[in-house]
Amino acid sequence: MIYAFSPFELDMAKFELRKDGEPCPIEPKVLALLAYLVEHRERLVSKEEIFEKLWDGRIVTDSALASRIKLARKVLGDTGHTQRFIKTVHGKGLRFVADVRPLRNSPIVSPEDDSRQEADTPQAADDVSYRPSIAVLPFQLLGKPGPYDTIADGLPHEIIAELARLRWLLVIARASSFRFRDRDPDQHHIGQLLGARYLLSGCVEASDRQLVITTELVDTRSGEIVWAERFTGKVEDIHAVRKEIREKILAALEIQIPLHEATAARLIVTENMDAWSAYHVGLQHIFRFNQKDNAAAAALFQRAIKLDPAFARAHAGLSFVHFQTAFLRHTDDIAGETALARRCAQAGLEIDPLDPFVNFTMGRSFWLSADLDRAHSWLERATSLCPNYAQGVYALAWTNTIAGADQEGRDQVDLAMRLSPLDPLYYAMLGTRGITHVARGEMAEAVQWAERAARSPGAHVLIAMIAAATQELAGNAAAAATWAANVRERSPQLGSAEFFGAFPMRKEPLRTQFATALQKLGF
């Protein structure tokens, strides 16, 4: 989206402010503030909201915000007296008041956009064919009316707000989707009217004691049910049930929509794939953790970028490829692959700095250089952008665990596993849980989690090294030797140096424990 307000253009894709076509020098945080005010120009934005959205809720003084506002006005040639662009409503907040002309339709409609014209939605979906769109319909209330009727509207509205955090998904505004309340909706017709590729609908049944909620995700093009789930709970636990449903739906859609898109893409001749299809088939390859599939993923992500250079997630996918090449030691040029992983992540950030997956790949690139502090910062940003982003939560858990914050890591990895029990990185979550037990000297539990991790589908060879070391630490020499043999058969070149290169453990005695165990096993 480009917003024009004479003589300026605010280019959201490039994250750039231009005056008469020339880029304006502006501090990133000031530009972020300006962009937020422009995007929400139809209403007053409070100071509290700005602190939450731009400073992730961190404690910031009023003077810090005041200085950014002053700098924004200076760039625009505005003043606190004239206020031609940014108006201060004392004691209330700020509003962008200049006339703004969008130069092309926005690829994302968020819940805050409820007051905008619904007619814009279908065109927005057409403009970004690689980004799927979803509409969440009001849920149907079954049974007799009662005190919990509001769940049928309240829960889907909360789901819309959560889905809007997913930068890769276009979310139809509540004001449009909530107009369809038929008990037997024509899903294909609604999809056409709203420009929605997917519809999420549901039913609510509440009795005196029991609450039952069913949800269903449908592909409006084919009428196919992509995913469905049934949630039950006690009425008195309604708030906990609401939270669980929001979390599980968000995590499920993160997996089910890309999987469905990739399956459909496989029916298309490769030469005709669009950027979205190429990207998601690439994801299927990358999570197999071997050189052949990694190379296939690289080719598909490169194709996606060629088709659409502004596709941020395709750049992030390519970063993931280079991360995996270095992490699994598929090359002797670890430094070169690390640099490429970071460069591709940076390219994605320049396009969309608010995409959780893009921030995730930047954070993981710092694992490769053992810079856990900077990795933690980027991963924390990814999860603040989308608190239910399971892979981001897992990566943050892993970073905390090897940095010594094992309790925090355990809490986070438990959340990640609850959010995404079918995640392609689930084996890594299990392995992380095992290491938190080693850190506490709970070797019997550590062995159980490490074994589950190493035996899980998709687990790469470094997970087998964790299992071998954990068995050795628990005094199970035979089992440790078996896993060590498994490692050597799969990757004879791996040793302690490669293990700690991938897992730069800081905490003592955790690092020494693993080093000693691996040495005893001949690594």
Residues 396-444: tens digit of each pLDDT = 999 999 888 888 999 999 988 887 777 788 899 999 999 999 999 999 9
The residue among 281, 255, 252 whose CA lies nearest residue 268 is 281
> Is the bond preceding 509 in cis, omega lying within 30 degrees of 0?
yes
Domains and CATH numbers, the chain: 2-102 (1.10.10.10), 111-261 (3.40.50.10070), 268-363 (1.25.40.10), 388-523 (1.25.40.10)
Judge contact between 429 and 417, C-beta under 8 A: yes
Handedness of CA 77, 83, 87, 88 (dihedral sign): positive
Report how far apart, in Å, the C-alpha atoms of 296 and of each of 150, 288, 300, 303, 456 are: 48, 11, 6, 11, 23
Q: What is the total residue count of the chain?
A: 523
Predicted pLDDT of residue 115 = 35
DSSP-derived 3-state class of residue 116:
coil
Judge contact between 268 and 433, C-beta under 8 A: no
| pLDDT, the chain, mean | 84
Number of CB atoms found within 10 A of residue 510's CB: 19
Report how far apart, in Å, the C-alpha atoms of 431 and of each of 207, 411, 439, 469 are: 42, 14, 13, 12
Q: Give Dmax over CA atoms of the chain in angstroms.
A: 79
- 482: CB partners within 8 A, 6+ apart: none
Judge contact between 160 and 194, C-beta under 8 A: no
Evaluate if residue 143 carries a pLDDT over 80: no
Least confident of 287-296, 368-377, 414-423: 414-423
pLDDT, mean of residues 14-18: 82
Most confident of 267-276, 347-356, 471-480: 471-480
- 278: CB partners within 8 A, 6+ apart: 265, 300, 301, 303, 304, 307, 314
Considering only residues 519 and 90, tell me which one the structure prediction assigns the higher pLDDT: 519
List, in sequence order, every residue forming a beta bridge with 212; answer none if it has no partner: 205, 232
Predicted pLDDT of residue 265 = 67
**Phi/psi at 378 (5° precision):** -70, -40
- Over the range 50-78, which residues count as b (16 or more CB within 10 Å of their CB) and which as e? bbeebeeeeeeeeeebeebbebbbebbeb
Judge contact between 166 and 249, C-beta under 8 A: no
Predicted pLDDT of residue 365 = 94
Alpha helices, DSSP H only, in 13-150?
28-39, 47-54, 62-76, 120-127
The residue among 116, 159, 115, 166 whose CA lies nearest residue 138 is 159
Q: Taking the chain, what is the end-to-end CA distance rounded to the nearest angstrom?
A: 53
Evaluate if residue 125 carries a pLDDT over 60: no
Predicted pLDDT of residue 108 = 34
Considering only residues 449 and 354, tell me which one the structure prediction assigns the higher pLDDT: 449
Evaluate if residue 374 carries a pLDDT over 60: yes
Predicted pLDDT of residue 388 = 73
Q: Are strands 16-19 and 8-11 parallel, antiparallel or unpaired?
A: antiparallel
How open is the CA angle 327-329-334, to the nearest 5 degrees?
80
d(CA 395, CA 380): 9
d(CA 496, CA 502): 10
d(CA 28, CA 37): 14
Handedness of CA 487, 489, 490, 493 (dihedral sign): positive
**What is the per-residue pLDDT across 233-285, written as a single tens digit (0 to 9) for each?**
887 787 788 888 888 888 888 778 887 777 666 655 444 457 877 888 888 88
- 103: CB partners within 8 A, 6+ apart: 1, 2, 3, 4, 9
Tokens describing residue 428: 């890594």
Most confident of 164-178, 354-368, 466-480: 466-480
Percentage with pLDDT > 90 across the chain: 35
- In single-letter form, the type of residue at position 390 comes to A
Evaluate if residue 60 carries a pLDDT over 80: no
- In single-letter form, the type of residue at position 100 comes to V
Evaluate if residue 35 carries a pLDDT over 90: no
**What is the per-residue pLDDT across 187-221, written as a single tens digit (0 to 9) for each?**
888 888 888 889 999 998 877 778 889 999 999 88
Predicted pLDDT of residue 252 = 80
Judge contact between 17 and 34, C-beta under 8 A: yes
Burial label for 513, CB within 10 Å (0-12, 13-18, 19+), is buried
Q: Tokens 């989690």 — which residue?
A: 449
- In single-letter form, the type of residue at position 257 comes to I
Evaluate if residue 363 carries a pLDDT over 90: yes
Most confident of 170-179, 274-283, 368-377: 368-377
Evaluate if residue 378 carries a pLDDT over 90: yes
d(CA 400, CA 392): 12
Tokens describing residue 453: 């991790």
Judge contact between 362 and 352, C-beta under 8 A: no
Alpha helices, DSSP H only, in 136-221?
151-163, 174-177, 187-194
Predicted pLDDT of residue 194 = 82
d(CA 25, CA 104): 24
d(CA 250, CA 164): 10
Report how far apart, in Å, the C-alpha atoms of 18 and of each of 24, 182, 335, 352 are: 5, 47, 36, 18
Evaluate if residue 484 carries a pLDDT over 70: yes
pLDDT band at 119 (very low <50, low <70, confident <90, very high): very low
Tokens describing residue 364: 């993981």
